[in-house]
Amino acid sequence: MSQPGMELEPDEADALRAWAADERARADSLAAALEQIAANGLPTVEECVAWEEIRELALARLDGRVP
């Protein structure tokens, strides 16, 4: 790992750029969701997914059971 004031190694710089791209994509996704709410209001209960379903899907992804 590089020290303060030193240039990053190429693989470190690539990893940092990839992280930045992931964070930018997440921020864009959140911004799109907020813009959707601003334009159309909150979704109805019928349009929503229960947090338990979201949790189970996230756990299944972490466990490798869902791509």
C-alpha 41/C-alpha 34 separation (Å) is 10
C-alpha 1/C-alpha 48 separation (Å) is 44
Question: pTM (2 decimals)?
Answer: 0.60
Q: How far from 42 is each of 45, 46, 49, CA to CA, in Å?
A: 9, 11, 13
The single-letter DSSP state of residue 4 is: T
Structure token digits, residue 67: 């791509």
Residue position matching structure tokens 């959707």? 36
Band (3; pLDDT cuts 50, 70, 90): confident
Each residue of 34-48: pLDDT tens digit?
A: 999 999 999 999 999
Share of the chain above pLDDT 90, in %: 85
What residue spans define the domains of the chain? 10-63
| Statement: residue 2 has pLDDT above 70 | no
